[in-house]
Structure 1
Amino acid sequence: MKKVLNTIFEKISTIQHLASMTIVASILLFLAALLAAVMANSSLAPAYQEFLSQQVSLQIGDFNLFSHGEHSLTVLQFINDGLMTLFFFLVGIEIKRELLVGELSSVRKAILPFIAACGGMIIPVLIYILICPPGTDGGRGLAIPMATDIAFSLGVLSLLGKRVPLSLKIFLTAFAVVDDIGGIIVIAVFYSSHVAINYLLWAALLLILLYFIGKRGSTNKTFFLLIGIIVWYMFLQSGIHSTIAGVILAFIVPARPQLHVGKYIESIRCAIKFFPVSDKDDIVLTNKQIAKLKRVESASDRVISPLQSMEDNLHIAVNYIVLPLFAFANAGVAFSGNAESIGDVTLAVAFGLIFGKFVGIFSFTWIAVKLKVASMPRTMDWKSVSGISLLGGIGFTVSLFIANLSFGDTHPVLLNQAKLGILVGTAIAGLLGYLVLHFALPRHKTH
């Protein structure tokens, strides 16, 4: 019983910490998107576009790491194909953690959010197809309303504070993770072209090398990072979207620490017990003291798995640097005032996020519970599920990413329409979800 209570309290404290981070991250994302929209519709628009089209390079002799073929990456490409690999690497780590020890670690835990996520992907795509059939120019973007933005949706949910039951936060996180898996599969399968097998073979060899090094107990994160950069470059040249390299690399990073926590505590106690203490209050440590402290430092590195350590280190960089930069580079919707600003793609994306996500998540959850395929968590009811289903329509980050892959190079007008649909759909879904939960959740604190 004590172990169960400790696990619950750990989950609560972890989610509360993540909630505070996601609120700040969501505000930064919103401000970055707002700044991009303002610049795209002001006299600064040419400067904004010129900045994004600037070339970036990391030159070593004739070799340019930031290049695709013989062309240097632009700032926009560097953010979308380079920095966003870190985001997808973090997403891969979170998926792996959920599969190993989280809410997707068993069929019993995973079945309800998995079914909900399937509905949240299928119905928006069907709505999109009804408005923009396959074969039309707009048909390429049918995957845009599939995704749920975990940071934004959890940020909105966190505004309701302690009224939100833990089961509701876990349900939202779990089906959003499954959504991410669906988005990653779509990117890998449908947005790859002209595959260069030789680059993929080199990448595969390096990944196999990393796998066996990890199996032998290596926890050197710098080594994994350096090899990871090489793998990213190979994917960039291969025709498979480079962000997929981040996801695959995440699944290879060791999840098991070298040193068990019990042995670590024992070694710390031993080090403290026999630590050579000087009678004088010296500011310079002796060689014996330094040696003891280095042993403690080495043990501390080995008791945290590379997977957990990298996840902890990446959250700040991804949430506070990478995603705001991505929002600034991709959310610049131009409101030109002509008929091209709003089109079928705008309506397909917005309706997919607002209605498709809600209908898909809610109906599939209802069917699963009524057919007794899965059971409803005790602290959830259908009113709260309806609010969470609306929050599932917050599809900002991955939706913008897929929109760029769909229309970025060939259809700038359709890309602008897709961006507008994403911003409108996300804003309305987020607002409706917050209002429904505000009135549906009990006024007293929920534990």
Structure 2
Amino acid sequence: MLITDYFKKFLHSSQSSGIILILCVAISLLIANSSLGASFQNLLDTKIGTEIFHLNYPLSIWINDGLMAIFFLLVGLEIKREIVEGELSSFKSASLPIIAAVGGMAVPAGIFYLFNQGTDYVKGWAIPMATDIAFSLAIISMLGKRVPLSLKIFLAALAIVDDLGAIVVIAIFYTEQLHWDYLGLSALMVVILIALNFFKFTKHIFYIIPGIFLWYFMHHSGIHATIAGVLLAFTIPTNVSTTEISPLEKLEQKLHLPVNFLIMPVFALANTNITFKDGMVDGLFTNFGYGIILGLFWGKVLGITTFSWLFIKLKISSLPDRSSWTQMIGAGLLAGIGFTMSIFIALLSFKGHPEIQDEAKFAVLVASVISGFAGYSLLKFVGKKKAGNLEM
């Protein structure tokens, strides 16, 4: 099995930053539920930028739409490299995370709908669809060698497809208005980036500048701007040479440290500031709470493993190298960490209803914690068992 050195470095740095990420979650929750909570929220709501180019946004928007676009750029680079020369280079292996992501979106949405059909809550059907790529990758990376690299690549690819699916759902069902002029300009930027690749431009600056414009136009189009990072990543030139370092590989090296030790911790601090209120726990034991929690915790793993099993049995796809079905279940559980994108969809679904938004955010947090703990524990147990068998 061919796993690139760059992906190994990415996972190694993700493993190191995973502990920092979890600490930032704890710190953010503590701040949100202390006397500093209001001040911290005011900081996140502080507008930064200029009105001249319509770029005067709260700090939280700059973090979630701006900094996270850089995170998606790095993950997109890693996925492209594996498609070109690594674990995802064959159709059987590359097709699995795509079909698994489809199952991981359809089944949770169906579970939520069954619990909430005929009520006003049904418009939140997309809340349990999304996988939080930052947290899921951080947790699986913390397992180190207990988990095969191919499974980590599978989860990364699945989460990318999953988040892209969530962005499409937001654009179609939750965006009040799409601005087609900005979408057209975004498409133009993509064409320019593809042309630069075709004519073999290698300096990063030729891609970064159109990439910034792509982000700007995508953000103003009404579609979540983080997709710009993925689109940019897939236009950066690479090669299959083991001696010549490609522009893609050079950019990966530059992004590893700032992404894993600055962007992800800041992201965690900004998005975990959930203030606990009276009645939140009771909200978990309603059809609304059941739809979110069971959708993320049970629906994700059920959809991912069922769709994967079906396509593997049909010999369309194949299991990640050296992985077992138990480990696939563990990866499916980690995909139940919905968090940021799920919370984002909840905010869009129930605009003007802060009490419902708070219930949804708390249910997403609970489901994500349960899914993360269950997935980590299962993968750790299987990893220890396999190590024990090898020693025997």
| TM bin (shorter chain) | 0.7 to 0.9
Question: How far apart in 1 are the matches of 2:151 and 2:180?
Answer: 44
Q: Give the structure 1 partner of residue 277 of structure 2.
A: 336
Q: Does residue 425 of structure 1 match 2:370?
A: no
What secondary structure is seen at the aligned counterpart in 2 of 1:195? coil
Question: How far apart in 2 are the matches of 1:375 and 1:211?
Answer: 31
With over 3 angstroms needed to count, the CA separation of the structure-2 counterparts of 1:305 and 1:388, relative to structure 1, is same
With over 3 angstroms needed to count, the CA separation of the structure-2 counterparts of 1:415 and 1:378, relative to structure 1, is same
| TM-score, length-scaled by structure 1 | 0.75
Q: Does residue 131 of structure 1 match 2:115?
A: yes
With over 3 angstroms needed to count, the CA separation of the structure-2 counterparts of 1:359 and 1:208, relative to structure 1, is closer
Equivalent of 1:111 in 85, 89, 95: 95
With over 3 angstroms needed to count, the CA separation of the structure-2 counterparts of 1:232 and 1:377, relative to structure 1, is closer
Amino acid at match of 2:357: L
Q: Give the structure 1 partner of residue 57 of structure 2.
A: 73
Deviations 1:123-177 (A, max 9, x none): 11111212333872x4343333223344433443344443333443344334334
| Number of residue pairs aligned between Structure 1 and Structure 2 | 387
Give the conservation status (yes or no) of the 8 Å contact 1:341–1:413: no
Give the conservation status (yes or no) of the 8 Å contact 1:143–1:402: yes
Bigger CA radius of gyration: 1
Equivalent of 1:48 in 17, 29, 40: 40
Deviation at 1:354, TM superposition (A): 0.9
Question: How far apart in 2 are the matches of 1:435 and 1:38?
Answer: 25
Question: How far apart in 2 are the matches of 1:252 and 1:134?
Answer: 45
Deviation at 1:359, TM superposition (A): 1.5
Aligned ranges 1:265-284 → 2 under 5 Å: none
Give the conservation status (yes or no) of the 8 Å contact 1:346–1:418: yes
Deviation at 1:75, TM superposition (A): 1.3
Question: How far apart in 2 are the matches of 1:17 and 1:51?
Answer: 34
With over 3 angstroms needed to count, the CA separation of the structure-2 counterparts of 1:241 and 1:437, relative to structure 1, is closer
Give the conservation status (yes or no) of the 8 Å contact 1:327–1:397: no
What secondary structure is seen at the aligned counterpart in 2 of 1:73? strand
With over 3 angstroms needed to count, the CA separation of the structure-2 counterparts of 1:52 and 1:398, relative to structure 1, is same
Q: Does residue 64 of structure 1 match 2:52?
A: yes
Amino acid at match of 1:355: W
Deviation at 1:404, TM superposition (A): 4.5
Q: Does residue 325 of structure 1 match 2:246?
A: no
Give the conservation status (yes or no) of the 8 Å contact 1:341–1:417: no
Give the conservation status (yes or no) of the 8 Å contact 1:387–1:436: yes
Moved more, 82-91 or 423-432: 82-91
Equivalent of 1:233 in 193, 216, 226: 216
Question: How far apart in 2 are the matches of 1:341 and 1:56?
Answer: 38
Question: How far apart in 2 are the matches of 1:446 and 1:156?
Answer: 24
Aligned ranges 1:45-444 → 2 under 5 Å: 45-57=37-49, 59=50, 64-65=52-53, 67=55, 72-133=56-117, 136=120, 138-256=121-239, 303-338=244-279, 342=283, 344-376=287-319, 379-407=322-350, 410-440=352-382, 441-444=385-388
Unaligned runs of 5+ in 1: 1-6, 263-302
Question: How far apart in 2 are the matches of 1:161 and 1:446?
Answer: 17
With over 3 angstroms needed to count, the CA separation of the structure-2 counterparts of 1:378 and 1:186, relative to structure 1, is same
Please, what is the CA RMSD of the aligned residues? 3.2
Amino acid at match of 1:200: L
Deviations 1:170-189 (A, max 9, x none): 44334334323423433443
With over 3 angstroms needed to count, the CA separation of the structure-2 counterparts of 1:445 and 1:305, relative to structure 1, is farther
Give the conservation status (yes or no) of the 8 Å contact 2:75–2:156: no
Q: Give the structure 2 partner of residue 35 of structure 1.
A: 27
Deviation at 1:256, TM superposition (A): 4.7
Unaligned runs of 5+ in 2: none
Deviations 1:283-333 (A, max 9, x none): xxxxxxxxxxxxxxxxxxxx4333332233223222222222222222211
Deviation at 1:121, TM superposition (A): 1.7
What secondary structure is seen at the aligned counterpart in 2 of 1:336? coil
With over 3 angstroms needed to count, the CA separation of the structure-2 counterparts of 1:372 and 1:235, relative to structure 1, is closer
Question: How far apart in 1 are the matches of 2:230 and 2:153?
Answer: 22
Task: Among all aligned residue pairs of Structure 1 and Structure 2, give the percentage whose two residues are the same amino acid.
Answer: 42
Deviation at 1:14, TM superposition (A): 4.9
Deviations 1:248-306 (A, max 9, x none): 3333333359xx766xxxxxxxxxxxxxxxxxxxxxxxxxxxxxxxxxxxxxxxx4333
Moved more, 335-344 or 385-394: 335-344
| TM-score, length-scaled by structure 2 | 0.84
Deviations 1:365-420 (A, max 9, x none): 3333444444445733333333232222223344344444444x533333322322
Question: How far apart in 1 are the matches of 2:269 and 2:282?
Answer: 19
